[in-house]
Copies of this chain bind each other. A is one copy, B any other.
Amino acid sequence: MAGKDHPELKLRLTLRGGEWLGPGKADLLEGIAETGSISAAGKRMKMSYKRAWGLVEVLNGMFREPLVASSRGGAGHGGAELTETGHAVLRLYRRMQANAVSATEAEIAQLMQLTDIPDRK
C-alpha cells in the first residue's frame, strides 16, 4: 500500500563536484537511526550491504565530522548510530525538502494540469 504518492519532488544538493546529498543517502541515514545497523537499514531499502556501506563511507567523508559511528563485536554484536552531526544533517535535509515542497506547490499543480494524469483529489 503506501499509495503511489505522485507527484513527488526530490532534491539533490551538490556540495562539491562529485559529492552530493540526495534522497537515497538521507533515507539511509534515517534507516540507520531507526534500526541501529547499517545492514538492517540497507536491507530495508532493498540494497546490498556493500552499497549501503559504500554510501556511509562517502557520507562520512563529505563533512568535517563523520555522520555515522559504527562498532564491531561486543555485547550488541556490533552496530551503527548517527552522530550529533549525522542527526543535524538529516534534520536539515528533511526541513529543506519540506520547505522546497511548500514553496513549489503552485508550479507543481500547474505542471500536473498539463499532463494527462487524472487529478484525483
Q: Give the B-binding residues of A (Cβ under 8 A).
A: 4, 6-17, 21, 62-65, 85, 88-89, 92-93, 95-96, 99-100, 102-104, 107-108, 110-112, 114-117
Smallest distance from the beta carbon of A69 to chain B beta carbons, Å? 16
Q: Is the CB of B21 within 8 A of A13?
A: no
- Verify A92–B111 contact, CB threshold 8 A: yes
Q: In the bound complex, what is the Cα–Cα distance between A39 and B80 (angstroms)?
A: 49
In the complex the two chains form, is A15's CB within 8 Å of B6's CB?
Answer: yes
Specify how many copies of this chain sit in the oligomer: 2
Q: Which residues of the other chain, B, contact A9 by a CB distance below 8 angstroms?
A: 11-14
Q: Enumerate chain B residues within 8 angstroms of A62, measured Cβ to Cβ.
A: 115
**Structural contact, B99 and A114, CB atoms closer than 8 A:** no
* A1 CB, nearest partner CB in chain B, Å: 15
Are B63 and A115 in contact, CB atoms less than 8 angstroms apart? yes
20 contacts between A and B (CB under 8 A): A4-B17, A6-B14, A6-B15, A8-B13, A8-B14, A9-B13, A9-B14, A15-B111, A15-B112, A16-B117, A21-B111, A63-B115, A65-B114, A89-B114, A92-B111, A96-B111, A100-B103, A102-B103, A103-B103, A103-B104
B12 and A12 form a contact (CB under 8 A): yes
